[in-house]
Amino acid sequence: MSQSPISQSPMSQFPTPTTERPGTPVPGAVDPNDRADPTADPTAGTAAADVAATFCAALVDEWGRLGVTDAVVSPGSRSTPLALALADSAAVRVHVVHDERSGAFTALGLGVATRRPALLLCTSGTAAANFHPAVVEAHQAAVPMVVVTADRPPELQGVGAPQTIDQRHLFGSAVRWYCEPGPAAADGAPWWRDLARDSLRRSLGTTPGPVHLNLAFREPLVGTAGTLPPPGTDGGAGADATAVGASGAAWGLVDEELGQTLAAVSNRRGLIVAGARTAVTAADADAVLALADTLGWPVLADAPSGCRRTHPRVVTTADVLLRHDGFAAAHRPEFVLRLGALHSSRVLGEWLARSGAVQVGIDRHGLVPDPDHVLSWSRPADPAEVCRQLAGARTEPAPAEWTRAWADAEATARRTLDEALGAGGVATEPTTALDALAAVPADGVLVVSSSMPVRDLEWFAPARDDVRVVANRGANGIDGVTSTAVGVALTWTPTVLLTGDVAFLHDTNALIGLRRRGVPLVIVVVDNDGGGIFSFLPQADALEPERFEQLFGTPHGLDVAAVAEAHGVAAERVTSRAGLRAAINGALTRGGVRVVAVTSDRSANVAVHRELFSRVAVALDELVTAADPAAGGVNGGGFGNVADR
């Protein structure tokens, strides 16, 4: 990657690090805290502050010109020049978030929702370190983000100056680009806009992600912006703003690869496995489903894939089906086209790893997951474009019985689940996932936390064509989930968050000032007083109940509704499905933020899941035996490890 002149790290400017203890006077040396004071010329400081203000105004102007719309700013002094420039901008909305960790996840949510990088700004010191979890998630989930940490100038580094830590390369390999241009100097003005532009472009490459600018500011920090350097002549708002929203591979396979792939997929028992990032637009999903139609291949569509739509080839029950040994054994594929991120079903992943099929991976960001080392090859390419290429060529479809068997199984499992989950008025964890999805208004977003919520949705929920499902599955953290949903809702898209109680309590700082933001956000907390997912793991059987509760169940005994109310957020608790639906719909109609806690019990939840799996197993048993009497044999809804945790 080429670097603009301003991006060269001016490390030579830094003084040789001192080995003196901070605060130890060095004979003849100037007190480091005084060095920031240009005492020789009383107007020099003001002039420098004006240069810094102009530098920041130029950055913000350029970011705004290129399509950036949102900045998340945490309070602090050292970041003053950029905070003021952002606040003065007409193009960029500023969202102030006290806690930097929450602020960073808010920026992540904005980036996920808009596919444009949000700016993220904090002061120097540990404030910057609090950005790290969200930066890692952005890195691994390919979410664009421009992270700006304010820093002390070079002469205050390594000398024990207050609120100063080593911020160089703070986020390690999690950023696409790191740059420390040093304190702004007037003669650098020709490159100021380049810095803003470079940061955007690097966060929006084929693999989008976070970039980190560590900007040093000298006191005094309040200056007046002067004339900005003129913008370049290469487009600006129109041209570049479009580019800002269109990152990732736009291409398909080259001819030779396409030819080989066509030969491999023709007349095969094939599957399309769609994870997050597969379809960005409805047209992308149409392309995937059109290929499925052409080849007669089922599409095992994860909830965040964008492909879990009402369509005869879409399979919404893959995890549940594959828990049935008879079904799993009788429906092994020969070829698997894996699109986007990893499908969240572990059962599916393990089955594919054992399948012996030829498997290929395509991801628009080149982040093709292959934890089982089973892919024959993978490409950074647009999944929709690859599907269009394959559908447009001459290929033989799969044998008709392959297509029919999957469709019959999906219909059987779907009918069984719909019947089982349709009955009864008490809210369970699976019914809550279904009701939360059903309540999202058309074109709204459902955000799900990485514990049972994401799984209940994947295992049990039917297709929904007009709702986008978002989950932080880059690193599967339960931190920052509410803040991520706040970021999504800051785009004024009706948003429902389905989260666990531990994840909710992990991120209560997202609730600070939330009511005043006025965003359309309903937070449904499945409250089972601890980590319910662990009850499905071998530890639950292997350990004494007391030890299990201490280390995994981890009950907290808090009333999550009261916690919300303590933050000024209206909250209620429900136990019935009717109550839940009324609460979500009422909140969405009224607008604003509301927390709805749904009471659950971790042990009862295990039983609820077992019952659902075994009901589907019985229904499938009949189906498989009817189709092939020799292939009978049920695993009784086997329920091994479900997940990462």
Ligand X SMILES: Cc1ncc(C[n+]2csc(CCOP(=O)(O)OP(=O)(O)O)c2C)c(N)n1
Which residues contribute to the site for ligand X (CB under 6 A)? 449-452, 476-479, 500-503, 528, 531-533, 645
Identify which of residues 95 and 101 has a Cβ nearer to ligand X in the complex: 101
Burial label for 132, CB within 10 Å (0-12, 13-18, 19+), is: middle
Burial label for 590, CB within 10 Å (0-12, 13-18, 19+), is: exposed
Q: Is-contact 60 92, C-beta < 8 A? A: yes
Identify which of residues 634 and 642 has a Cβ nearer to ligand X in the complex: 642
Identify which of residues 140 and 449 has a Cβ nearer to ligand X in the complex: 449
Counting residues that bind Mg ion (by CB under 5 A) gives 4
277 DSSP assignment: T
Identify which of residues 171 and 534 has a Cβ nearer to Mg ion in the complex: 534
Identify which of residues 398 and 454 has a Cβ nearer to ligand X in the complex: 454
Give the nearest distance from C-beta 504 to Mg ion in angstroms: 9
Tell me the residue type at 433.
Answer: A
Neighbours of 550 (CB within 10 A): 12
Q: 3-state DSSP helix/strand/coil percent for the chain, to nearest 5?
A: 45, 15, 40
Q: Is-contact 374 353, C-beta < 8 A? A: yes
573 binds, among ligand X, Mg ion, none (CB under 5 to 8 A by kind): none
* CA 64 – CA 617 distance, rounded (Å): 55
- Backbone φ, ψ for residue 132 (5° rounding): -55, -50
CA distances from 15 to 394, 396, 635 (A): 67, 69, 68
188 binds, among ligand X, Mg ion, none (CB under 5 to 8 A by kind): none
Binding mask 504-543 for Mg ion (x = CB under 5 A): ------------------------x---x-----------
Give the nearest distance from C-beta 369 to Mg ion in angstroms: 26
Give the nearest distance from C-beta 327 to ligand X in angstroms: 27
Contact set for Mg ion, span 318-347 (CB under 5 A): none
Give the nearest distance from C-beta 532 to Mg ion in angstroms: 4
Identify which of residues 150 and 526 has a Cβ nearer to ligand X in the complex: 526
* Residues near 14 by beta carbon (within 8 Å), at least 6 away in sequence: 154, 157
* Residues near 374 by beta carbon (within 8 Å), at least 6 away in sequence: 352, 353, 359
Q: Is-contact 402 269, C-beta < 8 A? A: yes
Q: Is-contact 433 457, C-beta < 8 A? A: yes
Identify which of residues 280 and 595 has a Cβ nearer to ligand X in the complex: 595
Q: Is-contact 384 291, C-beta < 8 A? A: no
Give the nearest distance from C-beta 378 to ligand X in angstroms: 26
* CA 122 – CA 449 distance, rounded (Å): 26
Identify which of residues 64 and 553 has a Cβ nearer to ligand X in the complex: 553
* Closest CB to Mg ion: residue number: 500
Give the nearest distance from C-beta 135 to ligand X in angstroms: 14
432 binds, among ligand X, Mg ion, none (CB under 5 to 8 A by kind): none
* Closest CB to ligand X: residue number: 500
In the list 501, 564, 595, 608, the residue contacting Mg ion (rule: CB under 5 A) is: 501
Give the nearest distance from C-beta 588 to ligand X in angstroms: 23
478 binds, among ligand X, Mg ion, none (CB under 5 to 8 A by kind): ligand X
Give the nearest distance from C-beta 537 to ligand X in angstroms: 10
Q: Is-contact 549 526, C-beta < 8 A? A: no
Which residues are near Mg ion by CB under 5 A?
A: 500-501, 528, 532
